[in-house]
Structure 1
């Protein structure tokens, strides 16, 4: 395509089971190229193929805004494509990972409200106690890494954080060892890779309730508020006031006259404090990420 005008595929419809290919096409026009509001379905049938712009060259501004019915697309690739001006890909949801690896980008790329689904499959079928899932396509980690790099370059912190989390999730059971993958899964579950405030907070609440219940069974002189105060002080054990409160309330719960504090309780308290340290760190990390400029 060449000339001085714009090239528009706005509101074009694609449906069926075949692929859509613009491979090796050259858009040499001085105008813009627009694929806004493409619809990947019609009234009777959805689109179940792949879309490829591999090795395509764009010399003007390129827009893929507000794509519709993209949930059934199997692949969407711009691999080795070249963009001399800006590229916009906002407000779309894909059931695959957008492939921008090895692309040449001359200007900014807009990824606002772009969501890509990581497709995963079950691993370790015999381990009934733990459902492990890995990325169906191990190259998805590289695709998310590229999306993260673009988001960072364009100072889109929210998208960069989301793509980073998906990159780590895609690497699990592929690029990581068993131990690293387990740590990866725990990190995902507890804090969604530093994106969740509520998960670490709920973790601290769980430890608080578990501690109160434990003391209700083992404390010689149990009192709810005393157990609550002692358990609460273990959430922030690094505060001097919390240390003194913990010591005072522990003596009330387990007085010397009834045998004092059992040795095992010190070990349980140490483990609880360690978990609380981790949860506080993850809560702070998520808080920082939420308000990072």
Structure 2
């Protein structure tokens, strides 16, 4: 024990010897020295196995466990009480056992676990109470076991987990009160265990999950309150399902440029309330984000936003045909890769097989997104979502073969009103293909093919006044008189006119959709 400017400092071997005397002796010393510093800096606990500090009280000065080393046993700070000085576990190496800070009480001093290394055991900070200073877990290695901060309470300081790394176990921040300081999980790497932030409360500070990497398991933010002016998940990486259901977001919310989001099968914001602007730009989902029953009061940014609903072939005819053909060519037994190839080929013929949505609820989700796109004047996205709605509705809501055939023509000849080129090519092709029919059915001895070609196109442009005069003159050149035109030629002309009207309509529809104001 030493005195530094009349302040008691317990450190080194003296601190270890007092700890070895047990809790009662330690707490009695703290009562006699309420203002003192305690230092286990670089202390070696590896030879003691289990390291109990359960219900230990620490004085109001600083407590330093930085660069200390713990062995294979558990480390237990359950219900430990720290004073208002700084608490330092920077670069501390915890061993292979579990680490307990359950119901530990930290004072208003700075709490530093930066670069601490936890081992293979579980880490528990459940119901721990932190004071009003900053809490720093920057670059901490939180081990391979479960990490549990459930019901922990933070104060007014900053909570920093930037660059921390979690293992493969479950991570729980359920019912955590993060206080009113900024909360930073930027560039955190989570493992492949499930991650829970359910019913947690973020206060008035900003919340940053920028570039955080979430693993392959699910991430839950059920009933979370984001009370700050800005919450950002920009450029975060998700590979599992993501749930923000029934949460309340008071400030601006950024869920933009998410990496690997195409691997997520579910992204849900159902029943969530957004009280400020929301940015979902730059995301390419392979599912349909669920915004049903959400409340948005400000602008929703959807720039460079796409969805690709999962679909399946409910009719096995095409798949079975392709597999049978492969068996004929390659033998009776097929490799998994060839069966997978058959499935991929069958999806390229959606009108032969019954390609429909895997999840029927995607239809309502798309409708909600379409509504939001229309509200925010994003006409192109609204049109794209309307098309996805039609595709997902096939064989579910749209079951009439006539309706499906009309949709088939609408897709092939107009790309659902998005293509100008397709109907123009259709007009030209119809005119050229009908020309030989008029030519070979001409009643004059030596008709000119150019006259037949012009006559064919005049049938398609009958709304133009000059076309009417030209059509009559060309009819005389091909059939000597309009009275001598064969009946089947009249029928062809009538059909060609109807086709041209439909194709001209598709051109106008595409122009309207492209240049809509």
Same topology, TM > 0.5:
yes
Does 1:218 pair with 2:441? yes
Q: CA deviation at 1:153?
A: 1.0
What SS is found at the alignment partner of 1:62?
strand
Distance change >3 Å, CA 214–CA 132, structure 1 → 2: farther
Q: CA deviation at 1:185?
A: 2.8
Distance 1:131 1:213 in 2: 36
8 Å contact 1:172–1:184 — kept in the other structure?
no
Distance 1:6 1:55 in 2: 20
Q: How does 1:185-196 map to 2 (within 5 A)?
A: 185-196=408-419
8 Å contact 1:230–1:246 — kept in the other structure?
yes
Q: Which of 500, 503, 508 is 1:276 aligned to?
A: 500
Which residue number in structure 1 is paired with residue 211 of structure 2? 11
Distance 2:409 2:358 in 1: 20
Between 1 and 2, higher relative CO (CA 8 Å, sep ≥ 6) is seen in 1
Q: Which moved more, 1:76-85 or 1:124-133?
A: 124-133
Which residue number in structure 2 is paired with residue 153 of structure 1? 375
Q: Which of 239, 242, 247 is 1:51 aligned to?
A: 242
Which residue number in structure 1 is paired with residue 477 of structure 2? 252
Q: Which of 279, 296, 302 is 1:88 aligned to?
A: 279
Does 1:35 pair with 2:35? no
Distance 2:287 2:358 in 1: 10
Q: Which of 430, 455, 464 is 1:207 aligned to?
A: 430
Distance 2:424 2:219 in 1: 46
Q: CA deviation at 1:71?
A: 2.1
Aligned length: 282
Which residue number in structure 1 is paired with residue 219 of structure 2? 20
8 Å contact 1:215–1:222 — kept in the other structure?
no
Q: CA deviation at 1:151?
A: 1.1
What SS is found at the alignment partner of 1:71?
helix
Distance 1:120 1:224 in 2: 49
Q: CA deviation at 1:212?
A: 1.9
Which residue number in structure 1 is paired with residue 455 of structure 2? 230
8 Å contact 1:165–1:192 — kept in the other structure?
no
8 Å contact 2:270–2:294 — kept in the other structure?
yes
| RMSD of aligned Cα (Å) | 2.1
Q: Which moved more, 1:214-223 or 1:4-13?
A: 214-223
Q: CA deviation at 1:15?
A: 3.1
Does 1:243 pair with 2:468? yes
Q: Which moved more, 1:50-59 or 1:185-194?
A: 185-194
What SS is found at the alignment partner of 2:461?
coil
Distance change >3 Å, CA 139–CA 185, structure 1 → 2: farther
Distance change >3 Å, CA 133–CA 202, structure 1 → 2: farther
Distance 1:219 1:67 in 2: 65
Distance change >3 Å, CA 205–CA 132, structure 1 → 2: farther
8 Å contact 1:12–1:38 — kept in the other structure?
yes
Q: Which of 352, 360, 372 is 1:138 aligned to?
A: 360
Distance change >3 Å, CA 233–CA 59, structure 1 → 2: same
- CA shift digits 1:75-132 (9 cap, x unpaired): 2111111111111100111111121111011211111110000222224444898344
Does 1:170 pair with 2:392? yes
Which residue number in structure 2 is paired with residue 43 of structure 1? none
Unaligned 5+ residue runs, structure 2? Answer: 1-200, 322-350
Which residue number in structure 2 is paired with residue 289 of structure 1? 513
Q: CA deviation at 1:268?
A: 0.9
Q: CA deviation at 1:216?
A: 4.1
What SS is found at the alignment partner of 2:457?
helix
What SS is found at the alignment partner of 1:138?
coil
Unaligned 5+ residue runs, structure 1? Answer: 41-46
Which residue number in structure 2 is paired with residue 264 of structure 1? 488
What SS is found at the alignment partner of 2:467?
helix
Which residue number in structure 2 is paired with residue 117 of structure 1? 308
Distance 2:241 2:459 in 1: 54
Distance 1:79 1:140 in 2: 13
